[in-house]
Amino acid sequence: MIVVMEKGASQEQVQHMVERVEGLGLKAHVIVGTERTVIAAIGVKREETRQSLESGPGVAEVVPILAPYKVASREVKKDPTQIVVGGLHVGAGAVGVIAGPCSVESEEQIVQTARAVKAAGASALRGGAFKPRTSPYSFQGLKEQGLKFLASAREETGLAIVTEVMSTEDVELVAKYADVLQIGARNMQNYRLLEAVGHTRNAVLLKRGPSATMEELLLAAEYILNEGNTQVMLCERGIRTFENHTRFTLPLASVPYLHHKTHLPVVVDPSHGTGHTYLVPDMAVASVAAGADGLILEVHPDPEKAMSDGYQSLSIPQFEATMLRCRKIAEAIGKQFG
Amino acid sequence: MIVVMEKGASQEQVQHMVERVEGLGLKAHVIVGTERTVIAAIGVKREETRQSLESGPGVAEVVPILAPYKVASREVKKDPTQIVVGGLHVGAGAVGVIAGPCSVESEEQIVQTARAVKAAGASALRGGAFKPRTSPYSFQGLKEQGLKFLASAREETGLAIVTEVMSTEDVELVAKYADVLQIGARNMQNYRLLEAVGHTRNAVLLKRGPSATMEELLLAAEYILNEGNTQVMLCERGIRTFENHTRFTLPLASVPYLHHKTHLPVVVDPSHGTGHTYLVPDMAVASVAAGADGLILEVHPDPEKAMSDGYQSLSIPQFEATMLRCRKIAEAIGKQFG
Amino acid sequence: MIVVMEKGASQEQVQHMVERVEGLGLKAHVIVGTERTVIAAIGVKREETRQSLESGPGVAEVVPILAPYKVASREVKKDPTQIVVGGLHVGAGAVGVIAGPCSVESEEQIVQTARAVKAAGASALRGGAFKPRTSPYSFQGLKEQGLKFLASAREETGLAIVTEVMSTEDVELVAKYADVLQIGARNMQNYRLLEAVGHTRNAVLLKRGPSATMEELLLAAEYILNEGNTQVMLCERGIRTFENHTRFTLPLASVPYLHHKTHLPVVVDPSHGTGHTYLVPDMAVASVAAGADGLILEVHPDPEKAMSDGYQSLSIPQFEATMLRCRKIAEAIGKQFG
Amino acid sequence: MIVVMEKGASQEQVQHMVERVEGLGLKAHVIVGTERTVIAAIGVKREETRQSLESGPGVAEVVPILAPYKVASREVKKDPTQIVVGGLHVGAGAVGVIAGPCSVESEEQIVQTARAVKAAGASALRGGAFKPRTSPYSFQGLKEQGLKFLASAREETGLAIVTEVMSTEDVELVAKYADVLQIGARNMQNYRLLEAVGHTRNAVLLKRGPSATMEELLLAAEYILNEGNTQVMLCERGIRTFENHTRFTLPLASVPYLHHKTHLPVVVDPSHGTGHTYLVPDMAVASVAAGADGLILEVHPDPEKAMSDGYQSLSIPQFEATMLRCRKIAEAIGKQFG
C-alpha cells in the first residue's frame, strides 16, 4: 500500500502516518519526492488497513497494490477451473451452452424447450421457478411446481438444470431439484445468500451485478469459495451505462480480463446483455470468439407468448441457427462446443 | 401503451398486433402516420403487457404511457407523507437528521456518539450491527451485541435507532431493537427482504441501489407498501458513474424529481454519496436546500480509528459545524430542522 | 410523435395542445385512455417540433416515433455501403484492417511499421500527425512533417493512409496527403469540422464520442453526408462507463445495432476500446465475429519507446498473431479479410 | 510515480524498469514488498512518463502521484480567482447570475429578456448566436445578426454578454461583440479552439463535457491558461449517466471538489444539468448552497414558443421566483448575490 501525503504535509503528519502504519503491523518506508512524500506500507494487510489510513491527517490518498481477493485469484491457482455437471462442461477449452426460457410456465413448455435445445446442441437447461421481478405486480414464477417441471425435463433429456435461487430460505429446496444454482444480478452482493450457496455442493452460476466492478464480482465469488464451494462460474450479463439502444451494455472485454485475473470460468449472457432478440445471435458468436467458457441464452418455443422476457428470447429456429454459427467459431479457435 | 410498427410493416402485421392487443383485454386504436403506423392500446394493463407485445412481428418498439408503480405515486396520494418515530420527523416540512458511526464498535463508542450528535441536534442515531461488506475478509459487525449497544444508546439519549437489516431471517431480531429498519443499497432489489420488512410495523429507510433508476426505486418501495407498511422513506445515496474523484455521484435532482412523483419523503446520504469527509458538509447543506426531508450522516468520535468508512465520517466538531450551516439554510427556506 | 398529457390534464389543456400540433402543420389525433389522454401528431416534422411541444401546459412527455437521421438510415438505402480506398475495402462482406502507430514519430518508424503491417495483411496505415492530447504539456505530433512521412510510407508500400484532422483550417492540408480523414472521438460533435470534411472527396472515419448515443453518432455522420460526401465509415472505439479495469468499455453490440439501422460500414478500435495491450487481440477477434467491417489497431515496432499510447499498442509479432486469429474467424463466417 | 511490478516479476524485469526510470531522468527507489516489488520514480515528469513506463515487461500498473495540471492548481495559487466583467462578479464570495434564452431569436426577444432578467437581479445575459445542434436539420442560430442583437441588449441594459463560440474562425468575430466567450460542452476538448480563446483577452466560460473527468476539465482549462488568458470560469452542466428521468445528471459535489483543487471559480448550469423546467429552481438553490460562484440559467419570455430548449427554460416569473429563493440562501451563507 502506498500512502500519498498531501503537498505541504508537515514532518509531524508524515511521522504520525509512519506510526499508524507500524501500529498496523506493517513496515513503513518513507520516500521523499520532488513535490510530495509517500510512505510505502509493506506487509499483507489489505482492504481495512487502507480505509483506516485514508482518514489520517495530511493524507491525500492511499493506493492499494494488492488485489483484495485471494482464492479466486490466478496468482493462487494457475490452471483454469473446469466445471462439469452432467453433460455440461464449462472452462479449460470447453464452451458449455445453457439454454431455455426466462420462466418455467408449464410442464409442456419446459419439456418441449428442453428437447429442442438439446437437439440443437445445448448441454444444460435454464428456466426460472423463482423470479425476481422489478414490479410486485409482475408474474413471480411457479416456485416449487416450476422446480418439479424442470426435474421432469431433466429426466426426459438428461440436460443439467440451471435455475435461480433468490433467498437463503429457498436454498435447500432449489438445491434438491437443480444442478446449478444461479445467483441473479440483483443478488450478487446478497452476502448471506452467497454464503448459503457456498455451503451446498452444487455448482453456482454467479451473475455480475449491473454496476459491479470486476473486483466486486471476484469478491462476491470469494464469499462462495470461502465457504468451501469451488464450483463457481462467473457470468457477464451486461452493465448499466448511458446507452439506451440496448437494455444493458455487454462489455466482452470482461472475458479476457477475467481469464487474466482468475482461474474461474466465464459465461456470457447475450440475452440480458442486449435485451433485444435481433442482437443476440451476433453477440453469442462474438462471445465465443472472445474466449467465453459458456453461453446462457433465453430460448422460448413461442417468444410472443412468453410470460417474461419475450423481447429478448430466441425462437427454436433462431437458437438452432445461432448454435451453428457459434460452433463454426469454436472450431476455428480449437474449442470443444455445446 | 403505444405499439410503434416498423416502417414498411405489412397490413397483416398490423392486423396481427391489433388482435394481440385486443386479446389482452385492451382497446386497439390504429393511427396511420406519414411514415409509420402506430397502435394505441387503451386500458389499465402495464409492464407485462408491454413485454408481451414487444416481440410481435413488425413491431419496432412499445412505448409505455403509465408509470408502473401505484401506491407510491403522487397521483394516488397528493399530500406528502410524514414519518414520525420518537423525536424523528421526516417529510412534510420537517427535515430529520440521522447521524452516527458506520459500524457499532463498542458500547462506549456508540453511547458517546449518540450523546454528541443529540447535543448537536440530531434526532436519530444510525449504526451498523449487521454490516454488508464487499470482501468476506472485512469486519462484518457485532450483530446482536451491536443491537444491544444501540438500545443502550437509545435509553441514554432518547434518539430513535436506525440500523440495517440484511436478511429475512434477521428481520424479527433487528425489529426488536430498532425503530427504523434500513435496507441497504445492495439489497434494494432483494424482494424477499422488502416483503419481510413490509410485514413489520417499523418505519423503513430504503436506500437507492447504485444503478437503480427512479422507477426501480419506486417499485422497490411498492413491494414494501404492497405488504401494508406505509412508513417508507426513500434514500438517495449516490449512483455509480464514470466519475472517480468521488466514490459515487450524488444526483440531488432526485429530490425534486421524487417529490414530483411520490408522496414518500426523501432522505439524502452525503457520506456515501461523496465518499470523502471534506465533501460531506457542502453536500449536506446543498441537500437541505434542494428540499431533502432528511439527512443521514456518518459521524465517528475518532474517524481515523473507525473500523469502517473512516474516510467519509465526520468528527464530532465537523458534525456540529455542519449542523449549524444546515440549520441556517433550513430557516432560510422555512423548514423545521433536526 | 405522441404527446402524452398528464393525468388530470384539463380539456382546455388538451385543446391547447391540439391547436399547437395543428399550428405546426401536423394532424392531431386525440386518444382518450383509461387514465390519460394522448395526442398523436401525424406528419414529417421531427426534433424541433418535439422540443417545442414538450413545454406545453399539462404535457407529461413527448414520445418521438421517427428517427431523426435520414440519409444515413437503412430505411433510405437498403444495401450496405462499401468504402474502397486503394487496397482498403470496408463493408459489404469485406473486413478492412487499418494498423499503425498512435503517432508518427520519424520517417524510419512509420516506414518500418508500414512494411511490417502490410506483410501481416493490413490494407491501410494509421498514424497521427496532428495529435489531440488531454494535456497541453504532452507531445502534439509532428504536424505537416508527419504527413510527409506518411506519404513516404504510402509510396513504399501502397497502403492507404488514415490520419486525424483536428481543425477546419487543417482540412485542406491533411486531405492533400491522406486517403482517409479521421475525425477523433473528442471532435465527433465539432460540427464545423464535420461540414468541412463533408466538402472533401476523401473517405472519412468518424469515431464515436465516448458518451455519444447511437443516434448522436448517426446524426454526426448525417452532417458529413448532408454536404455530399457519402464515403463515411463509423468507428466504435469504446464508451465511458464506471468500469475502471479497462480505459473505456467496448460495446460490441454497436456493430449489429448499426448494421440494423444504417447502411454505413462499422469499424471497431479494440486498442482505444480496451486501453491495454493484453486485451486487444481477443477483442479484435470478437469484433470480426460480431460482424465488424473493419479493424483499426495501434501497432508500434517498440511499444515501450512509443511517444504515446504504448500501453495499448501491439508489437509487430503480436499484430501478426492477431491477424492470423482474425483471418480464421473471417473465413469461418465467409468474409474477405485484410 | 509508483511502478507496480507483477507478482513474480523477475529480477531482470525489475532491473530493466529501474534503468528505464533512470533513463527518463528520474530517481528510482526499489521497495521489495511481501508479495510484490514496486519502484518509486522520483522527479517532476508526468503524464508521458507514465504511459511510457506502463508497457514495460513485468509491469502491472503505474500509479501517478502528481496531478497533471499546474497553472489551474490550488497548489500554485492559493487565493480564489474572481472574474469581473462589467457588473458580473464570479468567485471569491460573489455569486454571479447569467440568464437568458438558449438562442437569440430576434432583437425584440433578446432585449425584452435582458430587461426582465436584469430587473430580477441577473448581472449577465446569455444567448446563443452560433448554435451547435445535434442534428444538421435543426435551427443553427442567427450568427452575426444574433451577435448584433446581443450588443443592442447590452446597450439597453448594461448586462455583460455571454455567448458561445464554436470554431476558431469565429473567435475574432464573437470576441468583438461578447464579453465572455463560452466554450460549449461538445467543444471542451477542441484544443485548437481552447488555444484560440486563450489568445483573446475576453473572459471564458468553459463547460464540462458530459463524460469529462475533473482532471480532463482542469487540463482543458490549462490549455487556455497556458496561452496567457487567466480569466477562466469552469462550468458544471451535468454528466451522462444511466439516469433517464433527467437529461443529464448534475453532480453538485463538483463544486466543493473543484474549490479544493483549483482557484478558478465554478459556475453551475441547472438548465442543462436537469433538462426539465420543473427541476431547475430547486437545483439552482442547491447549487448556491453547495458553494457555486455563479449560475447560468435559460430564461425565455415564452418557453413554449422557444426555437430551442423550451422544455428546460424558465419563464420570466419562474426566474424571478428562483432569484428570490437563491438570494435568501446566499444571504444565509454570507455571499454577495446577482
What tens digit of pLDDT does each residue of B112-136 get? 999 999 999 999 999 999 999 888 8
- Chain-chain contact of D38 with A75 (C-beta, under 8 angstroms): no
Preferred mutation among C276, C278, C282 to probe A, highest tally of A CBs within 10 A: C282
Q: Does A286 touch chain C (CB under 8 A)?
A: yes
Spatial contact of C163 and C128, defined as CB atoms under 8 Å apart: yes
C257: nearest CA partner in chain A: A279
Residues C20 and C162 in one domain: no
Q: d(Cα D307, Cα D140) in Å, to the nearest integer?
A: 10
- Chain-chain contact of C252 with A257 (C-beta, under 8 angstroms): no
Q: How many CA atoms lie within 13 A of C25 on its CB side?
A: 7
Name the residue among D332, D321, D313 with its Cα closest to residue D128. D313
Position C44 scores a pLDDT of 65
Residues B6 and B126 in one domain: no
CB atoms within 10 A of CB C48: 19
Query: Where would I find the H helices in chain D?
Result: 11-23, 47-54, 107-120, 144-157, 171-177, 191-198, 214-225, 254-261, 270-274, 280-290, 316-332
The better pLDDT of the pair B150, A138 is held by B150
Please provide residue D100's backbone torsions phi and psi, each rounded to the nearest 5 degrees: 155, 180
Q: At a CB cut-off of 8 Å and minimum separation 6, what does A180 contact? A: A85, A88, A98, A124, A160, A161, A162, A163, A202, A203, A204, A205, A233
Q: Does A325 touch chain C (CB under 8 A)?
A: yes
Residues of chain C found within 8 Å of residue B61, distances taken between Cβ atoms: none
Q: ipTM, 2 decimals?
A: 0.93
Preferred mutation among A37, A44, A215, A242 to probe D, highest tally of D CBs within 10 A: A242
Q: Mean pLDDT: which of A199-213, B46-60, B128-142, C63-77 is highest?
A: A199-213
Name the residue among A85, A88, A41 with its Cα closest to residue A66. A41
The verdict on residue B199 lying in a domain is yes
Q: Does B52 touch chain A (CB under 8 A)?
A: yes
DSSP-derived letter for residue A6 is: P
- Chain-chain contact of C63 with B8 (C-beta, under 8 angstroms): no
Preferred mutation among B16, B164, B211, B308 to probe A, highest tally of A CBs within 10 A: B211
Measured N-to-C along each axis, helices B254-261 and D280-290 cross at an angle, to the nearest 10 degrees, of 150
Q: How many CA atoms lie within 13 A of B144 on its CB side?
A: 6
Residues A58 and A91 in one domain: no
Three cell numbers written together for D70: 499546474
Listed by number, the residues of chain B in 67-86 with a beta carbon closer than 8 Å to a beta carbon of chain A are: 68-70
The verdict on residue D69 lying in a domain is no
The verdict on residue B118 lying in a domain is yes
Compute CA distances B116 → B21, B223, B300, B303, whole Å.
62, 36, 10, 14
The verdict on residue D109 lying in a domain is yes
Name the residue among D241, C54, D252, D274 with its Cα closest to residue B260. D274
Whether residue D50 is predicted with pLDDT greater than 80 in this model: the reply is no
Average pLDDT (B135-160) is: 95
Query: Where would I find the H helices in chain A?
Result: 11-23, 47-54, 107-120, 144-157, 171-177, 191-198, 214-225, 254-261, 270-274, 280-290, 316-332
Residue among A211, A239, A279 minimizing CB distance to C253? A279
Residues of chain C found within 8 Å of residue D247, distances taken between Cβ atoms: none
Position D45 scores a pLDDT of 62
Q: Does A305 touch chain B (CB under 8 A)?
A: yes
Read off the pLDDT of residues A35-48 as tens digits, 9 standing for 90 and up. Answer: 788 888 887 665 66
Whole-number mean pLDDT of chain D? 93
- Chain-chain contact of D33 with A65 (C-beta, under 8 angstroms): yes
Q: d(Cα C120, Cα C321) in Å, to the nearest integer?
A: 9
Residues C221 and C87 in one domain: yes
Strands D59-63 and C232-236: unpaired
Q: d(Cα C103, Cα C111) in Å, to the nearest integer?
A: 13
Min CA distance, B267 vs chain D (Å)?
Answer: 15
Whether residue D8 is predicted with pLDDT greater than 90 in this model: the reply is no
Residues D185 and D327 in one domain: yes
Q: How many CA atoms lie within 13 A of C320 on its CB side?
A: 10
Position D265 scores a pLDDT of 98
Residues D102 and D160 in one domain: yes
Given a contact as 3+ CB pairs under 8 Å, which chains touch D?
A, B, C
Spatial contact of C210 and C235, defined as CB atoms under 8 Å apart: no
Residues A48 and A127 in one domain: no
Q: Does B174 touch chain A (CB under 8 A)?
A: no
Three cell numbers written together for D143: 450568427
DSSP-derived letter for residue A246 is: S
DSSP, collapsed to helix, strand or coil, labels residue B60 as: strand
Q: d(Cα C196, Cα C198) in Å, to the nearest integer?
A: 5
Total domains in the fold of chain B: 2
Q: d(Cα D234, Cα D217) in Å, to the nearest integer?
A: 8
Spatial contact of B226 and A136, defined as CB atoms under 8 Å apart: yes
Three cell numbers written together for C155: 509510396
The verdict on residue D78 lying in a domain is no
Min CA distance, A155 vs chain C (Å)?
Answer: 36
Spatial contact of C335 and C288, defined as CB atoms under 8 Å apart: yes
Host domain of residue B32: 2-63
Q: At a CB cut-off of 8 Å and minimum separation 6, what does D227 contact? A: D195, D198, D199
Q: d(Cα C16, Cα D248) in Å, to the nearest integer?
A: 29
Q: Does D192 touch chain C (CB under 8 A)?
A: yes
By mean pLDDT, which of A179-188, A247-256, A300-309, B311-320 is the weakest? A300-309
Residues C42 and C180 in one domain: no
Residues D137 and D28 in one domain: no
First to last CA, chain A: 44
Query: pTM, whole model, 2 decimals?
Result: 0.94
D279: nearest CA partner in chain B: B256
Q: d(Cα C72, Cα C11) in Å, to the nearest integer?
A: 41
Q: d(Cα C41, Cα C51) in Å, to the nearest integer?
A: 13
Q: Does C191 touch chain A (CB under 8 A)?
A: no
Average pLDDT (A158-176) is: 97
Starting at the edge strand found earlier in the chain, the sheet holding B59-63 runs: B27-32, B37-42, B2-5, B59-63
A30: CATH: 3.30.70.1140
| Chain A / chain B CB contacts < 8 angstroms | 136
Residues of chain A found within 8 Å of residue C288, distances taken between Cβ atoms: 289
Average pLDDT (B290-306) is: 94
Whether residue C46 is predicted with pLDDT greater than 80 in this model: the reply is no
Residue with cell 448515443: C213
Position C20 scores a pLDDT of 85
By mean pLDDT, which of A231-235, D32-36, D318-322 is the weakest? D32-36
The verdict on residue D70 lying in a domain is no
Spatial contact of C280 and C293, defined as CB atoms under 8 Å apart: no
Residue among C134, C189, C191 minimizing CB distance to D216? C134
Query: Where would I find the H helices in A85-240?
Result: 107-120, 144-157, 171-177, 191-198, 214-225
Residues A232 and A184 in one domain: yes
DSSP, collapsed to helix, strand or coil, labels residue B72 as: coil
C214: nearest CA partner in chain D: D134
- Chain-chain contact of B240 with C242 (C-beta, under 8 angstroms): yes
Average pLDDT (B68-73) is: 85
- Beta partners for A251? C251
C190: CATH: 3.20.20.70
Position A32 scores a pLDDT of 83
Position B46 scores a pLDDT of 58
Residue among A52, A70, A135 minimizing CB distance to B68? A135
Position C235 scores a pLDDT of 98
Whether residue B90 is predicted with pLDDT greater than 80 in this model: the reply is yes
The verdict on residue D273 lying in a domain is yes
- Chain-chain contact of A213 with C243 (C-beta, under 8 angstroms): yes
Min CA distance, C44 vs chain B (Å)?
Answer: 7
The verdict on residue C72 lying in a domain is no
| Chain B / chain C CB contacts < 8 angstroms | 54
Radius of gyration of chain C from its Cα atoms, rounded to whole angstroms = 23
Burial class (CB in 10 A: 0-12, 13-18, 19+), D79: exposed
- Chain-chain contact of C283 with A256 (C-beta, under 8 angstroms): yes
Preferred mutation among A214, A285, A325, A337 to probe C, highest tally of C CBs within 10 A: A285
Confidence of residue C48 (pLDDT cuts 50, 70, 90): low
Position A47 scores a pLDDT of 60
Residues C41 and C150 in one domain: no
Preferred mutation among C249, C271, C288, C318 to probe A, highest tally of A CBs within 10 A: C249
Residue with cell 392500446: B41
Q: Does C22 touch chain D (CB under 8 A)?
A: no
Average pLDDT (A98-119) is: 97
Confidence of residue C53 (pLDDT cuts 50, 70, 90): confident
Average pLDDT (B199-207) is: 97
Residues of chain C found within 8 Å of residue A245, distances taken between Cβ atoms: 213-215, 257
A123: left (phi over 0), alpha (psi -120 to 50) or beta: alpha
Compute CA distances A119 → A122, A157, A264, whole Å.
7, 9, 28
Q: Does A25 touch chain D (CB under 8 A)?
A: no
Compute CA distances C163 → B207, C7, C145, C295, whole Å.
49, 54, 13, 15
Position A239 scores a pLDDT of 98
- Chain-chain contact of A290 with C279 (C-beta, under 8 angstroms): no
Given a contact as 3+ CB pairs under 8 Å, which chains touch B?
A, C, D
Preferred mutation among B216, B282, B333, B337 to probe D, highest tally of D CBs within 10 A: B282
Spatial contact of C211 and D213, defined as CB atoms under 8 Å apart: no
Q: How many CA atoms lie within 13 A of C188 on its CB side?
A: 26
Position D47 scores a pLDDT of 60
Read off the pLDDT of residues D172-227 as tens digits, 9 standing for 90 and up. Answer: 999 999 999 999 999 999 999 999 999 999 999 999 999 999 999 999 999 999 99
Query: Where would I find the H helices in C121-248?
Result: 144-157, 171-177, 191-198, 214-225
Spatial contact of D62 and D54, defined as CB atoms under 8 Å apart: yes
CB atoms within 10 A of CB B25: 11
- Beta partners for C89? C84
**How many Å is the maximal CA-CA distance in chain D?**
76
Q: Does A253 touch chain D (CB under 8 A)?
A: no
Residues C99 and C57 in one domain: no
Residues of chain C found within 8 Å of residue B42, distances taken between Cβ atoms: 31-34
Spatial contact of D109 and D125, defined as CB atoms under 8 Å apart: no
